[in-house]
Amino acid sequence: MGPVAALELRSVDLHSPRNNRGHHTQEMGLKRLIVRRGQPFVLQLHCNRPFHPGTDRVTFVAETGPAPKEHLGTRATFSLTKTRGGNVWSVSDFTIDSNSLFVSLFTPANAVIGYYTLKLEISQGQGHGVTHLLGTFILLFNPWSSEDDVYLPSEILLQEYIMMDYGFVYKGHERFITAWPWNYGQFEEDVIDICFEILNKSLYFLENPSKDYSQRNDVVYVCRVVSAMINSNDDNGVLQGNWGEDYSLGVSPLVWNGSVAILRQWAARGGQPVKYGQCWVFAAVMCTVMRCLGVPTRVVSNFRSAHNVDGNLTIDTYYDRNAEMLSTRKQDKIWNFHVWNECWMIRKDLPPGYNGWQVLDPTPQQTSSGLFCCGPASVKAIKEGEVHLAYDTPFVYAEVNADEVVWLLEDGHAQEILAHNSSSIGKEISTKMVGSDQRQNITSFYKYPEGSPEERSVFIKASRKMLGSRKALSRLLDLLGSGGFRNQPMQLQLHLARMPEWGQDVQLKLHAHRMPDRAHPQGPIRLEVRFCAQALMHNGSTREPLWRQIAHLNLDFGEEVQWPLLLPYDNYRNKLTDEKLIRVSGIAEVEGMRRFLLVLKDISLEPPHLSIEVSERAEVGKALSVYITLTNTRMVALSHCTMELEGSGLIHGQIANDLGTLAAGHTIQIHLDLYPFKAGRRQLQVLISSNEVKEIKGYKAIFVAAARVS
What is the distance between the alpha carbons of residues 427 and 337, in angstroms, rounded to a whole number?
Answer: 9
Instruction: Mark out the alpha helices in 517-585 (DSSP H runs).
Output: 569-572
CB 232 within 8 A of CB 239: yes
Q: Are strands 525-536 and 506-514 parallel, antiparallel or unpaired?
A: unpaired
Burial 367-400 (b: 16+ CB within 10 A, else e): ebeebbbbbbbbbbbbbbbbbebbbbbbbbbbbb
List phi, psi (to 5°) of 113. -85, 155
47 torsion bin: left (phi>0), alpha (psi -120 to 50), beta (else): beta
SS3 track for 386-446: CCCCCCCHHHHHHHHHCEEEEEEEECCEEEEEEEEECCCCCEEEEEECCCCCCEEECHHHH
The CA-atom distances, in angstroms, between 572 and each of 492, 495, 502 are 24, 19, 9
SS3 track for 353-397: CCCEEEEECCCCCCCECCECCCCCEEHHHHHHCCCCCCCCHHHHH
The CA-atom distances, in angstroms, between 647 and each of 181, 183, 185, 292 are 10, 6, 8, 17
Amino acid at 649: G
What is the distance between the alpha carbons of residues 622 and 625, in angstroms, rounded to a whole number?
Answer: 10
Largest CA distance in the chain: 123
> DSSP string spanning 151-189?
----HHHHIIIII--EEEEEEEETTEEEEEEEE--TTST
- Could you give the angle at which helices 393-401 and 453-467 cross, rounded to 10 degrees? 140
What is the distance between the alpha carbons of residues 409 and 415, in angstroms, rounded to a whole number?
Answer: 6
The CA-atom distances, in angstroms, between 57 and each of 50, 81, 130, 347, 428 are 13, 10, 11, 41, 63
C-beta atoms surrounding 597 within 10 Å: 20
Active site residues: 279, 338, 361
Strands (E) across 254-365 are located at: 274-277, 297-307, 314-319, 333-345, 356-360
CB 701 within 8 A of CB 681: yes
Burial 520-530 (b: 16+ CB within 10 A, else e): beeeebebebb
Burial-class residue 343 by CB neighbours within 10 Å (0-12, 13-18, 19+): buried
C-beta atoms surrounding 265 within 10 Å: 17
List phi, psi (to 5°) of 241. -80, 150
Which DSSP category does 637 fall into?
-
C-alpha dihedral (391, 392, 398, 399), degrees to nearest 10: -90
Q: Which residues contact 40 (CB under 8 A, 6 or more apart)?
A: 92, 93, 104, 105, 106
What is the distance between the alpha carbons of residues 185 and 182, in angstroms, rounded to a whole number?
Answer: 9
425 torsion bin: left (phi>0), alpha (psi -120 to 50), beta (else): beta
Burial-class residue 156 by CB neighbours within 10 Å (0-12, 13-18, 19+): exposed
